[in-house]
Amino acid sequence: MTLMTFVYLIAGLVLLVAGAEVLVRGAARLAAQFGIPPLIIGLTVVAFGTSAPETAVSVQAALDGSGDIAIGNVVGSNIANVLLILGLSALVAPLLVSRQLIRLDVPLMIGASLVTWALAMDGQLGRLDGALLFGGVVAYTAFLIVSSRKDKAASNGDEFAEEFGLHEAPKPYAWALNLALVVAGLVLLVGGSNLLVEGAVTLAKALGLSELVIGLTIIAVGTSLPELATSMIAAFKGERDIAVGNVVGSNLFNLLCVLGLASLVSPLPINVSANALAFDFPVMIAVAVACLPIFFAGYCIKRWEGALFVAYYAIYTVWLIMHSTAAPGLGLFSQAMLWFVLPLTAITLLVIGGRAWKLQR
């Protein structure tokens, strides 16, 4: 392993984050110039843009035949989004949870997780599977647009307009500048994904780790940096409901759009490892299901719950690394998971669920 491996990883992450930011700003302003309302831009361009790094990496990995990185990126990002990003955001300030998230978006996230797991049960995701998943994100986006137009009390998109300067009068030839930003963003995303995937494969071989573990950890956290930045800034600014909605929406897009698109463009079906099916997919689903009782309890994620999320993510990451390297302490660690961590998790969820039930009464 050489210094260039780390240079590739760092440069790839920087290019991905910068590319996503440039692409979203250029596309949002270009859409506004064509008369598209700010709210619709926020529900489509901005939503897709925050998942652009995951999309670029998973598509590139699928084209290169690195299916484990493509799968690990999506599954790992979804786990990191809830446990790490929501956990850290809740440590900054208790997060508010809207009723729509609990009634619609979280159940959809759980459903999408289960459907993806079921489609991958045969050990691969082919183009038909990709078409079904991508069709899901198209239907979900259309539903969001229609429901937002019907809802008289819905936000008119001022937060998106202010963030991206959509209310400003366009300057002459502004469309050319915005189009250049879109092209530049795409170039940065492609270049960043190439560097990141190449660096990740080299790192996995040098450390004796599987590509799946690298995808579940380094790449997953790296491509989730836009979501982390958005949620943390929202928490600091007191926009505590945006932080939660950002994570849930990103998880839905990761499963339906990112994995769907990667499966569609891949020349061969994406292979899904037995380890991912037996452990990582169930962890992702368990994390999604755990959101319901926690979100339901007072429609708030408290600081201690955020700390618990972060602790669980640390435990999951340590287990992945130990398992991949066949570390001597794996047996003891697994026993601790079985006899201490899992019962503690079950008790915690029962207590939170009981509190939520009392509140509903």
3-state secondary structure of 125: strand
Please state whether the predicted TM-score (pTM) of the whole model is above 0.75.
Answer: yes
CA distance 118 to 102: 23
Helix then strand count (H, E) for the chain reads 21, 4
Residues 136 and 114: beta-carbon distance below 8 Å: no
pLDDT tens track for 188-222: 877 887 787 778 778 777 777 788 888 888 788 87
Is 142 buried (19+), middle (13-18) or exposed (0-12) by CB count in 10 A?
A: exposed
Percent share of the chain, pLDDT over 90: 18
Asked if residue 318 has pLDDT above 90, the reply is no
Mean pLDDT value across the chain: 78
Rounded to 10 deg, the angle between the 225-236 and 240-253 helix axes is: 160
SS (H, E, C) 311-340: HHHHHHHHHHHHHHHCCCCHHHHHHHHHHH
- Of 175, 162, 169, 157, the C-alpha closest to 42 is 157
Q: What was the pLDDT predicted at 167?
A: 56
CB-count burial class (<10 Å; 0-12, 13-18, 19+) for 335: exposed
225-229 mean pLDDT? 73
Domain boundaries, the chain: 3-327
Distance CA 254, CA 334 (A): 29
Q: Encoding tokens for residue 223?
A: 């491509």
Provide the 3-class DSSP secondary structure of residue 95. Answer: strand
Q: Can you tell me the mean pLDDT for 77-88?
A: 90
Q: Cα–Cα–Cα angle for 314, 319, 325, nearest 5°?
A: 130
3-327 carries CATH number 1.10.287.1120: no
Of 104-108, 195-199, 247-251, 314-318, give the lowest mean pLDDT range: 195-199
Q: Residue 314 pLDDT > 50, yes or no?
A: yes
Q: What is the pLDDT of residues 37-79, one digit of tens each?
A: 655 565 566 667 767 788 888 888 888 888 888 999 999 999 9
Q: What is the DSSP letter of 224?
A: T
Q: Which residues make beta-bridge pairs with 300?
A: 96
CA distance 191 to 15: 7
Measured in whole angstroms, the distance separating CA 191 from the mean position of its chain's CA atoms is: 21
In what helix (H) or strand (E) does residue 96 lie, and over which residues does it extend? strand 95-96
pLDDT over 90 at 110, yes or no: yes
Q: Is the pLDDT of residue 265 over 80?
A: yes
Identify the band that residue 291 occupies on the pLDDT scale cut at 50, 70 and 90.
confident
Alpha helix ranges (H) inside 99-256? 99-100, 106-120, 127-150, 158-164, 174-207, 211-214, 220-223, 225-236, 240-253
Question: Residue 120 pLDDT > 80, yes or no?
Answer: yes
Cα separation, 25 vs 274, in Å, equals 40
- Alpha-carbon gap, residue 232 to 243, rounded angstroms: 7
Q: Which residue has the tokens 């038909």?
A: 128
Read off the pLDDT band of 156 (50, 70, 90): very low
Q: What are phi and psi of 125, to 5 degrees?
A: -120, 110
